[in-house]
Chain A
Amino acid sequence: MTTFLALSLTGLVVGCIYALTACGLVVTYTTSGVFNFAHGAIGMVAAFTYWQLSVAWGWPAPLAFLTVLLVLAPLLGAVVERVLVRPLYGAPIGVTLVATLGLLVTLLGVGFLAWPPDTTRVLPKFFEGHTITVFSLVIDYNQLLVIVTSIAVAVGLRVFFSGTRLGIAMRAVVDDPELAALAGTKPERVSQLSWALGAGLAALAGVLLAPLQTLNVTDLTLLVINGYAAAMAGRLRNLPATVAGALVIGISSSLVLGYAGPQVVNYVRPAIPMILLFVAVLFLKQERLRAGSLAGLRMPRTAGLRQSVGVGLGFVVVAGLVSGQLSPASLAIGGQGMVLAFIMLSLVLLSGYGGQVSLCQLTFAGLGAYAMGKSGGGALGLLAAIALPAAAGALVALTVVRLRGLFLALATLAFAQAMDQIFFNHALGYGGTLEIPRPRLPLVDTGDDRAYFVLLAVVFALGAIGLLTLRRRAFGRRLIALNDSPAASATMGVSPVMTRLLVFTLASAVAGLGGALLGGLHGSVSPNDFLLLNSCVLLLLATLGGLYTPTGAFLAAMSYAFFPELQKLVPELGQVQFLLTGLGVLALGRNRYGIGGQIADAGERLRSLRVHQVDRVEVARAAG
């Protein structure tokens, strides 16, 4: 009984912290309409800042605590709203999602930079050493603080939203920004306030959580994913349900950890929040078919067949020539860029054309590599590397296909995280590696690194040509139409479910093939290659490169692959990489088609310039 109570208490404390973070998420989401994937990262930065102030600089703990919670965190939230969120008002979910992912990456970078992981940092518990005993249950003051704070926050939020003018104004903004504006509320002010409040709650959660474990940049950032699950329990709106969800997650995880055997713990516990998130997402009411988001988005022109084949051929020839000049190390890096670009094509198809945001593309890549490795390579291996991810993709799609936008993104996130924890860690060995053979081909010795590099270039070129061909044909139009207006598509007889299922499966297969080729490039894979965070970065980069063109995918993948090399030459670049990412995300507010879109735009301008010249010549001739 005592064990049970003690475990429940530990779980309750953690659940309270999840509740705090989840409430912050809900507040910003409902008020500003943007789901903040960087919520955990804000908590992480806050926890480290608190460590910096209180431990490193020796400020008194209460002063440091209040400075972080009441000054620094809200300020950060307000600035983020002004700089990042506001320009994206009304943008499609894919764009806002990537923007906050960009913030996540930037803050992670700041975290690693400011507090390098080579030293261990420990935050003392609040009121270390003080405990009280209730019916043989020992409760320390730190736990008490967490519980009391959470109750205070819950009551405070309740009073704020139903009892104060500002709180009621915030709710009104959610329901109808234009109407609220007419009534004299400034939606931007209210949205900014909600970001400040959300960041404050994230910080509070981070600071309270940090003393319960060692300070670690990635862990703190991702632990907040548990908060996502709780927020989903309240369907991102309902605060009491959110709190209840958080407590369930906290307590059930703690009980599983305490009672179940180590096997179960290893497999199941890390996945509990994910499973709950997945279930919560599935029980969401089916969204009504709604109008497309923004009219008048200019998608880049699609190249014709002849043009794309021509460019593809040229691309392979150049890759062949360049490969002769590359060192073995550069060949490997270039090859990596090539494969990543190929995997990104699956994102162009799925997210660019189809408007479905996926945070688990590398999970399918990992499944492809796994199938290739286990089946021993060869033609059968390649087939398995396509079929296994395709089947998994179809299965995932079947369960999530009703979801769109943010909820789909969250479901794929849950899937990716669960696969990281349950499957890859075991299937690919703890930190160990699974050997992946290269495909064997007639006439080509794929064992030769240069030949393999050229093969990868060919695969990418074929993929790009195939993608563009698909875009020009009926299926491509159907995808774009479905993305632009689900309602109109359905009323012309298109089954949204079938179409999304098809494209999700196809994209999974492409990613899987890419994963097998990636494994072949390095000879082996490890669980680290397919982490959720990497999938996020992949989506981020693909979007920055322009989710609508193979060119954009190629440029994004190559810069990703080669950046670490550049950094070796110019070490200062390491500091800039995250800044660059941040700036890139800001630029998204201006051109939603990314770099690829800019290039396509420039090409179009050039072409119309030429046409105009021709016109002028003809006019001159007619006049003369």
Chain B
Amino acid sequence: MLRVEDVEVRFGGVQALKGVSLEVPDAALVGLIGPNGAGKTTLFNVITGLEKPNRGSVRLGAGDTWVDVTSLPPHQRARRGLGRTFQRIEVFSSLTVHENVLAAAEARRSWSRDDASPAQTASEMLERVGLRHLEHERVDMLSTGLLRLVEVARALASRPRLLLLDEPGSGLDSTESEALGDLLVELVQDGRSILLVEHDVELVMRVCHEIHVLDFGQVIAHGTPDEVQRDPAVQAAYLGTSAA
């Protein structure tokens, strides 16, 4: 589904990503974890086209057909099946909850051949994240946790094949985050791929098929949840000592 190769990003003196490569297979739920400032959000920005890497490539595809999207603008990557949510909330603050999701469904209709009713799609997606009862609220009435769910619903409304979620669980209580986990599992069972950035390690360990660990802009570990948990480099990074 997604192949990131040797991506490097520098912000002035800060090297946010150095030589990051990773892969997200079809219909897989892949976790991306790492301490604060490790470069997770930056990697999402590179994948979705909001940040230009200094080096490296991003490719989308399946089987033998891969398209290099490194030089494409964000909206064209979205049309190739990429969706995302934002860590720093990016809802449309002048629109209602329903309209937020509707806008995405309408956008999809304008660039795809899918002519499902946008209003229906929007309601359906809100139902899925459990916000149907709030659909006529203005977004400024919602808590940050719920706004993250609005973003999930909005991303789903463009029917992406790969969904990038940047800390969707922060701001949710434990029952809500459990429901979120179940939703993610369902979404992947439907055939989508998900790349999940999440600080709630318990959630990540429960739902992800494989996990990449990022520290100081580098992938320091990769494997199944069990493997990653046992990795000494990961333990060191999370205990705050140098990973090297």
Contact = CB atoms under 8 A, between A and B. Distances in A.
B90 interface: yes
Interface string B57-89: 000000000000000011110110011101011
A477 B106 contact: yes
Interface string A475-502: 0011011011101111111111000000
B93 A484 contact: yes
B226 to A, nearest CB: 33
A493 B75 contact: yes
B78 A474 contact: no
A492 B102 contact: no
A493 B108 CA distance: 7
A296 B75 CA distance: 25
8 pairs of A and B residues whose beta carbons are closest in the complex: A490-B74, A493-B78, A296-B140, A474-B106, A488-B90, A484-B92, A299-B94, A492-B104
A492 B93 contact: no
A491 B93 contact: no
A292 B90 contact: yes
Interface of B: 48-51, 73-76, 78-79, 82-84, 86, 88-95, 99-100, 102-104, 106-111, 118, 138, 140, 151, 154-155, 157-158
Nearest to A483: B94
B92 A289 contact: no
A307 B73 CA distance: 41
A485 B176 CA distance: 26
Nearest to B74: A490
Contacts of A491: 48, 50, 74-75, 78, 82-84, 155
A156 B34 CA distance: 48
11 contacts: A474-B118, A477-B102, A483-B94, A484-B93, A491-B50, A491-B83, A492-B158, A493-B107, A493-B108, A494-B107, A495-B75
A478 B106 CA distance: 8
Contact of B50 (A483, A487, A492): A487
Interface string A492-520: 11111000000000000000000000000
A291 interface: yes
A329 interface: no
B103 to A, nearest CB: 5
A297 interface: yes
B93 A297 contact: yes
Among B100, B103, B158, the one with the most A-chain Cβ atoms within 10 Å of its Cβ is B103
Nearest to B141: A296
Contacts of A296: 93, 140
B90 A485 contact: yes
A590 interface: no
A471 B75 CA distance: 22
Nearest to B111: A493
A295 interface: yes
A484 B139 CA distance: 12
A478 B48 CA distance: 20
A452 B110 CA distance: 40
Contacts of B84: 491
Nearest to B79: A493
Contacts of A495: 73, 75-76
B97 to A, nearest CB: 13
Contacts of B74: 289, 487, 490-491
A529 B18 CA distance: 58
A165 interface: no
A291 B88 contact: yes
Contacts of B95: 477, 480-481, 484
A295 B140 contact: yes
Given A297-B93, A484-B95, A478 B83 contact: no
B154 A492 contact: yes
A485 B154 CA distance: 13
B94 A484 contact: yes
B92 A492 contact: no
B107 A492 contact: yes
Nearest to A295: B93
A477 B98 CA distance: 11
B90 A291 contact: yes
Contacts of B73: 490, 495
Among A294, A295, A299, A488, the one with the most B-chain Cβ atoms within 10 Å of its Cβ is A488
Contacts of B107: 478, 489, 492-494
